[in-house]
Structure 1
Amino acid sequence: MSNLNLHPLFRRSIGFDRLNDFIDYAMQSDAPNYPPYNIEKTAENSYRIVVATAGFLQNELLIHLENQLLTIEGKPESISEETVEYLHKGIARRSFKLSLRLDEHIEVQHANYENGLLTIELQRIVPEEKLPRQIPIGQKAMLENQQTSEKTINAE
C-alpha cells in the first residue's frame, strides 16, 4: 500500500494534522457492502442516511453515536430453520455493523424505520462563533474598550 504524504498541504492550513490520520484510516478499511446504504444531501445543511435492512424488525436495529462516530447495528433474532430447504437464498439476514464518521457540526436529528428502510436525518448546525465574520484591522484599542464596557454593563 502506498503512503500519502500530505505535508505540502499543511503549509497552508492550521489544525488539520488529524486529516492525515483520517485518510490513512479510510485507505486501510474496506468499504462495507452489506447492508446497502445511501448517503444523501437533501438541502444545504441537511443530510440523510438510508440503510436497506430487509427482513429486520425495528427492535433488531441499534443506532449509537459516540465521539462523532455513528454506528448502526443489526442483530437478528434467531430463526428456526429446521424444516426449511432453500432453493435460492437471496435475502441476507445476518448481523452487521456499519460505522460512519460525522463532521464535528453534524447532529443526528431523528431516525425512522419504514418498509425495510432505516432512515437517519442529519443536520449541520454551525455555532454562531464559527460562522464567517469580518476581522477589523487596527482596532485593538477600540475592541478592548468595547469588551470592557460590555463587562461593565453585564456586571450591573
Structure 2
Amino acid sequence: FAQSDIDLVQQGNTLVITGGQKKPEPQQQEILHQGLATRNFKQTFNLADHVKVAAANLENGLLVVDLVREIPEQLKPRRIAVGTNGLSLNGQDNNAILTQEGVATRQAA
C-alpha cells in the first residue's frame, strides 16, 4: 500500500485505520502468482484515556504510529503545601471550636 491508500482517523478513544482503496486492475491480465493480498482492510484500536496520535509514517511497507499521552493540568497531581493556618489538634478531645479568626482549634479537656 502507498501512503495515499491508508487513512487514519481518531474519534475519541478509538483509532481507525483503513486501507486498500486501490483502483481495481483490469481483469484482462493473466497473473501467474500474486504474492500479497491487496484487498481492503479496516483495523480498530481502543486507546487509553488522554492518548493522541502524534504522527504516522509508512516506512518500507510498515506503518508506524506514534502515540502521546497528554494529561490535562486539572487531572495532574498537584503538591499542596502544609501551612500553619490549618486545624490545630491539641489535647485528646475531638470537639473542635471555631475561633474568631475562623480557624478551628481544640478545647483541652
Equivalent in 22, 26, 29 of residue 80 of structure 1: 26
Whole-angstrom distance in 1 between the partners of 2:46 and 2:39: 23
Deviations 1:80-107 (A, max 9, x none): 2422223x33301110000101112101
Shift of 1:118: 1.7
Whole-angstrom distance in 2 between the partners of 1:131 and 1:93: 45
Equivalent in 110, 119, 127 of residue 72 of structure 2: 127
Match status 1:68 vs 2:18: no
**Match of 1:117?**
62
Amino acid at match of 1:108: V
Instruction: Report % sequence identity.
Output: 34
Amino acid at match of 1:122: L
- Paired residues for 1:83-94 under 5 Å: 83-86=29-32, 88-94=33-39
- Answer 1 or 2: higher relative contact order, Cα 8 Å, separation at least 6: 1
Instruction: Could you tell me which runs of 5 or more consecutive residues in structure 2 were left unpaired when the two chains were aligned.
Output: 88-101, 103-109
Shift of 1:130: 1.8
More helix by share: 1
Equivalent in 37, 42, 50 of residue 105 of structure 1: 50
Instruction: Could you tell me which runs of 5 or more consecutive residues in structure 1 were left unpaired when the two chains were aligned.
Output: 1-55, 146-156
CA root-mean-square deviation: 2.4
Q: 4+ residue runs of structure 1 moved beyond 2 angstroms? A: 131-136
Q: What's the secondary structure of 2:74's corresponding residue?
A: helix
Q: Which has the higher mean CA deviation after the structures are superposed, 88-97 or 124-133?
A: 124-133
Deviations 1:54-100 (A, max 9, x none): xx1211111111122110000222122422223x3330111000010
Amino acid at match of 1:107: K
More strand by share: 2
**Match of 1:44?**
none
Normalising by the residue count of structure 1, what TM-score does the alignment of the two structures yield? 0.46
Deviations 1:93-135 (A, max 9, x none): 1100001011121011111122212211101112232223467
Q: How many residues of Structure 1 are paired with residues of Structure 2 in the alignment?
A: 83
Higher Rg of the two aligned structures? 2
